[in-house]
Amino acid sequence: MKTHILPALKLTGISIVVFCGLYSLIILGFAQIAPNKGEGQTVVVDGKVKGYALEGQGFTQDKYFNGRPSAAGYNAAGSSGSNKGPTNPDYLKQVQDRIDSFLVHNPTVKKADIPSDLVTSSGSGLDPNITVQSALVQVDRIAKARKLSAEQVTTLVNSHIEKPLAGLLGTEKINVLALNVDLDKIK
């Protein structure tokens, strides 16, 4: 019995040290070199917190860029996807409702030109980013609502494009909150 229990206790002790201690310290070390030292990125404008750069926001007014829909209602405490498959009738109706709503607010856009990330929620339901195409398809609506030229809004969109990590990992994206905050600064 000692031949089995003693090695098992040693392995348990080593596992606790490695996985609870060393692993946690390594992750903490990586967090220290991240922006804001791993504390998240709070967006503050005129002394007021407007949101969090790493969390999706629900923008519904025509004068703002819309982000990805959220299956969690933009509640970080309830972060989750819908868990409905692509053939689920409830899911298909929800996507169709989002398409219909988008077309009402963006009458110059054809249904085929709507990027999928504007009508489907992300896995977490809190994705703060949209594709460049998703931002550009909304330019006409925002320019009209704010009485700006489409060129001004397009220039702003292009200035917010985040390139893939190391030029290889991921796709180009735009943080919706940062874009909308800077949109409010245009006079």
Q: Is 90 exceeded by the pLDDT of residue 109?
A: yes
Q: Is 70 exceeded by the pLDDT of residue 18?
A: yes
Amino acid 74: pLDDT: 76
DSSP state letter for 72:
T
* Chain segment 82-99, per-residue pLDDT in tens: 778 888 899 899 999 999
Top-ranked range on mean pLDDT: pick from 28-42, 51-65, 100-114: 100-114
For helices 139-146 and 150-159, give the axis angle rounded to 10 degrees: 120
Q: Which comes out higher in pLDDT, residue 111 or 72?
A: 111
| Strands in 13-153 per DSSP E | 42-45, 48-52, 129-130
* Whole-structure pTM value: 0.75
Distance, CA of 74 to CA of 55 (rounded, Å): 8
Q: Domain locations in the chain?
A: 1-39, 50-185
Report residue 53's pLDDT band, with 50, 70 and 90 as the boundaries: low
